[in-house]
């Protein structure tokens, strides 16, 4: 089908919530190149919003997917576990920069990872408050929407948001917020809104994505680590884009790492 025909189908059958302004439709792709339904070839600068770290259809990935399909497609691992889940958990545990022995839970999306990290933090601390940062983006489910530090467009028309989410400034000197000011802001949030004893977690993107692709200085992340340790708060690092800028160890997945060092 052509782009035009697919666009007509999309307008008729795809819900507005999943809308795309793009009227070209991907047909196939290899490495960094993509062809649309009319055969037009282009360079894919989007990469699924920065998640195709090794491009489209790397032969090793294709081979692994085919091998899995030949064995088994789905069981739901909570009903019937399988080797791939356990082996990936072992691999991630070996690279994630958290203290001691890390355990892994795989989720369907970044938002789901964050929601679960918050559940773990609340259950582990017995506290409810969450502190996150201006410009941060964590997803489109209700709690992650509330955590997004960019009200429009993410919260528009969907309120009221869940409570107990508090915000602090993210250090972006280019926009006039130095590291010292951001730290002062965080301490002010903890004084005015969410004292340590009530805070379950501080959630931060080491590299802001939606907020403008700014990396937090390593010293700032270390200060947060210190504050969390002082108050028994869990630190949640939402790192989709660390692989690009690398202030911490590199994870090529959308993850929510709980209590990194």
Ligand X SMILES: Cc1ncc(COP(=O)(O)O)c(C=O)c1O
Q: Which residues bind ligand X (CB under 6 A)?
A: 49, 109-111, 114, 137-139, 205, 209, 238, 240, 254
Give the shortest CB-88-to-ligand X separation in angstroms. Answer: 17
139 vs 185 by CB, closer to ligand X: 139
Q: Residue holding tokens 């919260």?
A: 155
38 vs 213 by CB, closer to ligand X: 213
Give the shortest CB-63-to-ligand X separation in angstroms. Answer: 25
36 vs 144 by CB, closer to ligand X: 144
Enumerate residues 6+ apart whose C-beta is below 8 A from 193.
129, 166
36 vs 137 by CB, closer to ligand X: 137
36 vs 235 by CB, closer to ligand X: 235
Give the shortest CB-148-to-ligand X separation in angstroms. Answer: 9
Give the shortest CB-110-to-ligand X separation in angstroms. Answer: 2
67 vs 156 by CB, closer to ligand X: 156
Give the shortest CB-220-to-ligand X separation in angstroms. Answer: 17
Closest residue by beta carbon to ligand X: 110
Give the shortest CB-47-to-ligand X separation in angstroms. Answer: 12
């Amino acid at each position: 089908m052509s782009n035009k025909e697919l666009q007509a189908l999309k307008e008729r059958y795809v819900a507005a919530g999943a809308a795309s302004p793009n009227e070209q439709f991907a047909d196939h792709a290899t490495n960094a190149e993509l062809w649309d339904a009319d055969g037009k070839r282009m360079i894919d600068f989007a990469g699924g919003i920065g998640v195709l770290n090794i491009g489209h259809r790397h032969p090793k990935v294709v081979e692994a997917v085919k091998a899995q399909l030949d064995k088994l497609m789905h069981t739901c691992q909570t009903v019937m576990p399988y080797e791939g889940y356990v082996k990936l958990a072992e691999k991630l545990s070996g690279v994630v920069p958290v203290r001691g022995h890390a355990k892994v839970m795989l989720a369907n999306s970044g938002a789901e990872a964050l929601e679960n990290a918050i559940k773990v933090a609340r259950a582990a601390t017995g506290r409810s408050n969450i502190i996150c940062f201006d410009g941060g983006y964590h997803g489109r489910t209700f709690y992650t929407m509330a955590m997004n530090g960019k009200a429009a467009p993410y919260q528009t028309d969907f309120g009221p948001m869940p409570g107990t989410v508090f915000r602090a400034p993210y250090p972006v000197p280019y926009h006039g917020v130095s590291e010292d000011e951001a730290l002062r802001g965080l301490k002010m949030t903890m004084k005015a809104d969410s004292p340590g004893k009530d805070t379950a977690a501080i959630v931060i993107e080491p590299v802001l994505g939606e907020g403008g692709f700014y990396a937090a200085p390593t010293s700032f992340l270390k200060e947060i680590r210190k504050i969390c340790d002082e108050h028994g708060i869990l630190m949640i690092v939402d790192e989709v884009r660390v692989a690009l800028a690398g202030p911490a160890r590199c994870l090529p997945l959308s993850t929510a790492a709980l209590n990194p060092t």
